[in-house]
Structures are given as structure tokens and as C-alpha cells.
Homo-oligomer: A and B are copies of this chain.
Amino acid sequence: MNHTIIFQPAGRRGQIAEGTTILDAARQLGVGIEAVCGEHLVCGKCRVKVMEGKFPKEGITSSMSHLSDLDEKEKKVLKRKDSEEHMRLACSTKIMGDVLVFVPEASRTGKQVVSKAAGQIKVKLKPAVKKHYVELQLPTLDDPLGDFERLAEALEKEHGLKNLSIDYRALQKLPDVIRKGDWKMTVTVWQKKEIIRVESGKVETNIGFAVDIGTTTCAGYLTDLNTGKVLATESMMNPQVRYGEDVMSRITYCMLNEENGLRELQATIIEGLNTIAKLAAHKTGHTPEDISEMTLVGNTAMHHILLGINPEFMGVAPFTPALHHSVDVKADRFGIEILPSGNIHVLPIEAGFVGADNVGCLIADEPHRRKEMTLLIDIGTNGELVLGNKDKLISCSCATGPALEGAQIEFGMRAAPGAIERIRIDPKTLEASYKVIGNDRWSDGKVNMLAKGICGSAIIDAIAEMFKAGIIKKNGQINMDLKSKRLRRGAKNLPEYVLAWKHETSIDQDIVVNQKDVRAIQLAKGALYSGCLIMMRKLGIAKFDRLAVAGAFGSHIDKVAAMVIGMYPDCDLEKVRSVGNAAGDGARIALLNVDKRREANEVARRVEYIELALEEDFNDRFSEAMQFPHMFDKFPHLTGILPPDNEGESLLTAENRGAA
């Protein structure tokens, strides 16, 4: 008898024979779980968390009895390692029913590829947090002025800082710091207003932390505020993933668990932020307390949940957030373990789900300062679009879903070693060749490539190649009339195309793209494409001048493949730019320049939000956009600009890749 097992956060699922251990099931499905001791119940590294009933939309009704009993030995190992509930050792726990298992970061094999690398940003250094060195006159009986007032006078005289206040936690340290440094000291001042840190002697180190909270991935950039350089990048899964993969399911979780849902989600992300702040600090020989300020971006749902604000109302008409403005909160009030007197600066948000992440993109790409009409697409679990120029900007969000990140794709997986990242299909033979992350060679159908699955950006590649080879029809159907052993019907009689044969994989099964996968991508690209069209109609334009694709996905996606499948309207390929993690860049820009914070607040209010679902033509546009365009009709201009095909493939075989 078989049972359904789902692994989170990888989003991998499959039918597994009863009695299989979770570890074996993970191997079968290409989910990496650490197992250092060789399944001897010693190392405890293969701990996983059994989640039940927490995903209303998943329909999982399993309970602990869907697993073999916990024996004394396992109990002992678990007790030693973990006090968290519902933890099991994957190596010794057998599957006896349907289960949903969460693999904690610590139990995952292979370092995740940092997909949110810091981009090059140009910004004038004008951080909110600055350090100033002062030497004070010793007090005497004739001049017994208090420590703070003495310091404030010196700071006014030496550095022109007037009317400074002092955070009470800095005040607590002041008398000892002053005397320890023999009346020479360094103060850290926030916004020319408040002293937030006092240190003995001369200290120059001044660091901040900029974080992009994505629905799926969070990335933090430890930044030198004196030079603007990124000292360390640290990324992680958004730990809220266990409460739902997309923003709507997390909002639903908050609504269904009125008492604690929101608090739980908030605590989860704050704990996550503390973890990456600590890791990044330690990497560079600092402590988290050395961080004097943190800037944060995220979509409106991430924003509200982070701040502990009920996100319910932004999801329903008229889509009003709790506030648009940026927010500054003291770290200690927030439970963020940087300098307790330091501020957490959360960037402003626009409307609907278009949040601080998009504002981050705006201050990084600056469409509001350009004459050219720019379409800015930030593709994550939620797609956020901005169209406009210095005269007008409009925005919308579209539920692209996690498909573009590989999460709802049968063999989708994160960009990690073993993930198929590039694909070619010969239109004549319908044979496939591919590359996996961590290996430079292309597959030849013989060598075991140790493939595990398909990474998010490669899905687009696969669909584009299948479409170009005629395997996918205009309406998205897999053409079962074609003759190829790679084309067949799989589980539930679904048509599927075999990308990698079992003997080429490390998961001991064929890796396929099936009809359901194609539909998921169709929905995602349909949402994006129709969003773009409606925005263009709103601005009365038939064409835009620049296309900026942001987001982790945007960095890896092949822009030709994306245009082939019709993810966004036609545009000169030369004018298509991957702008990297522009949201994260925006967070860094805000960290480094206070004027950009003001600009962020201004531009956030200037962007007009369009709720797509309320547009009359949305349904028509959407169903049109679900179709695949006929490439030769749609992209005659591509022929000229692509580099010559060295390997004798079609001109359209996407050689013009970014640094994926």
C-alpha cells in the first residue's frame, strides 16, 4: 500500500510504499536530509518535524499514528537534541499513512545556492547611523555638568549636532563608558537626533544589516556603513514557509488562528531574522549587537506580519493596508537582537500586495526618475509589477504562485546541487539534454548526472523548449500524437515528457514535466502577462522602453525562454535587463542613504495601485495570456539578435543567458 508524503519546504511530494523510512522516502523524492551516522540513531542530524493539520488547503489529515511509534532509542536522541514537539528522526521513522514533513534548515543537505546575491548599487553614502569621536573635558567641582549634557555640548561644538537626545539603554552605559575611555569616546548617532550607542575610545566600525524578506527566501546583507560594502550575505528559507507557501495561505492561517496565529508567524520571522543577523555577524568577526540599524523590505503581507499587524484587510476590497509610511521601531521592542537601542527601519509599502520590496526595487531601479517607460517585474512567489516613468507610475500584483520557484512542479526543487538548471530539446528527435547545478557537462542520456529535480528557472527553459519542439501545443496541451519514448502517460494518466531517465538521476526514478506542471506555469505566466497588458492599457501605451526583471527568479531566468512562452509582452531583448535582487538592493540603499528613505516614502505614495481582479477585461486577458504565443509570429525580431548557434541548434535555443 502507498501513502502520500510531502516534504516542506522543498514542496516535493510522492507516493511511497508503507513501511519506508522518511529518510528513504526523501531520497526517492530527491529531498536532501542529513544522515551523518549512517542511520544508527546516533547523530540526530536527520531530525524532521511532522506537521499535521497546519495546512488547511493541503487537505492533509494525517496524525502521528501515520508514522511508526517513537521508541526509547529515538526518544533519547531527540531529547538530547531538541525540545521541539513532533520532531522525529527520519532514519528510523516509518511511513504508515499520509504525512506532511518539514525538513528544518539544519537537517538539509547541501548548502543552498544564494540566489539573492547583493547587486552592485550606486548610492551616495549618507547613512542614518553615524559614528562621532569626541574628547570631553573632565568635570570639576566648578564644572560638575552631568555626563550626557557634557557629551551633548561637545558633540554640538565639535560636530554641529544640536538638540541630541539619548536612548535610555545608551544612557545606562554612559557613565562607565566615559570613564573607562578616560573621557575619550565614540558615539553612534541616529538621524542626527538620538545617541544610540556609546563606546570608550575611538571606534570606527559601523555596520548595518539590510534584509529582504521574501515569501520563500530571506536574504540579509551585512553592510559597512562607512564604505557601503557588503561584508557578508546570509540567506535562508523564510521560516514561515511551514505555515503556508504563499501569502494568502499565511494570511488565512492568521485568520483561522485568531488568538495566536499572527503572533506565531511574527515570532517565526523575527527568530529567523535573528538567526541570519547572528550568522552574518559571526562570519565577519562581529556580534549581532555590533549592528546599529536594520532595514527591511517585504511584500505587504510579509510587512504586516513582521510588524504584528492583522494582514486580513489588505486582501479584500478596497485593499487598504494598515499604513503606507515607513516605520522605525527600536530593536528591543521588537525582539530583534541587534543593538537594543538600534532601529528597525521598515520601508514604506504601496497597496494591495505591492509592498516595501517593490518600493525597494523602485529606489534601486528608479523608474520614477526616468523618461523612458519602464516595466519593472519582480518575480517571486508573488509577482509585483510597476509600469511608468517620471510622470506616472502604476503597480499591480499577480498571484504567480510558487510554480515559478519550482514548488508546485512535480519535480521542482530549489536551486541546489543536483537541480537541472538548463535544458535543450532537439525539435527533430525530441531528445533532451540538460545540465545540473554543480556539474559543467551536458547530459548525454548515458552518464548518471545525479539529477534530483528541476530548479525554478529551468522550468521556464523546459516549457519553452517543449513548446518550440512542438511537444506543447498553443493551448498548453502536451501533444501525445508525437512519437517519442519520452512522451507517455504517467500517474493518473497524465501526459508527461521525460527529461531525465532514472539511470541519470540520484532519486532512482525518471524526472518528468507533466501536464499539471505545464498548467501551473501557464497560470503563472498568464497572470504576469495579463497584468502587464492591463497596466499598459491603463497608461494608454502599446509598448514600453525598458523591461527590468528583478527577483531571485528574475536573475536566473532565461529572458528569451521567458519571452518565448509569453511571460511578458514583447520588448527589445536589448532593453531587457535582469536587475538582480532589486528589493534587497533597495533595502541596502535605504540603509546607506537617508535621503533615499524620504524618496521611498514619496514614490510609494505616488504609485497608483491597480487591483487586477477588479478590472473588467481581466478574465479575457488572462485566458488569452494562458495560451502560448506562436513564436515565429511573435518573435521574428529574435532571429537577428541572438548569437550564432555554435552547436547547430535552433537560433531560439536560449544561448543568451545571464549568469545563472
Contact = CB atoms under 8 A, between A and B. Distances in A.
Main secondary structure of the interface of A (DSSP, over half): mixed
A561 interface: no
Contact of A320 (B146, B310, B325, B611): B146
Interface in A326-379: 327, 329-330, 332-334, 351
Among A309, A317, A334, chain B packs the most CB atoms within 10 A around the CB of A309
A614 interface: yes
A313 B145 CA distance: 12
A562 interface: no
Contacts of A172: 307-310
A110 interface: no
Interface in A128-156: 139-141, 143-150
Among A149, A330, A332, chain B packs the most CB atoms within 10 A around the CB of A149
A44 to B, nearest CB: 34
Interface stretch (A78-86, A174-182, A212-220): A174-182
Contacts of A141: 317-318, 611, 614
A81 to B, nearest CB: 30
A174 B322 contact: yes
A319 interface: yes
A213 to B, nearest CB: 16
Nearest to A179: B313
Interface in A150-196: 150, 166, 168-169, 171-172, 174-176, 179
A426 interface: no
Contacts of A148: 322-325
B139 A327 contact: no
Contacts of A323: 146-149, 166, 171, 174
A655 interface: no
B149 A324 contact: yes
Complex copy number for this chain: 2
Contacts of A147: 313, 320-323
A609 interface: yes
Nearest to A348: B146
Contact of A144 (B143, B319, B329): B319
A52 interface: no
Contacts of A322: 146-148, 171, 174-175
A171 B333 contact: no
B140 A318 contact: yes
Contacts of A309: 171-172, 174-175
Nearest to A147: B322
A312 interface: yes
A300 to B, nearest CB: 10
A175 B307 contact: no
Given A171-B327, A330-B333, A333-B330, A146 B321 contact: yes
Interface string A588-617: 000000000000000000000101001000
A145 B611 CA distance: 14
Contacts of A140: 318
Contact of A175 (B310, B325, B333): B310
Given A147-B322, A148-B324, A171-B309, 10 more contacts: A143-B318, A144-B319, A146-B351, A147-B320, A147-B323, A171-B307, A171-B322, A171-B323, A174-B322, A175-B310
User: Would you list the 7 A-B pairs with minimal beta carbon distance, nearest first?
Assistant: A148-B323, A144-B318, A146-B321, A146-B324, A168-B329, A139-B320, A172-B308
14 contacts: A141-B317, A141-B611, A144-B320, A144-B609, A145-B324, A146-B320, A146-B323, A146-B351, A147-B323, A148-B324, A148-B325, A172-B307, A176-B310, A333-B333
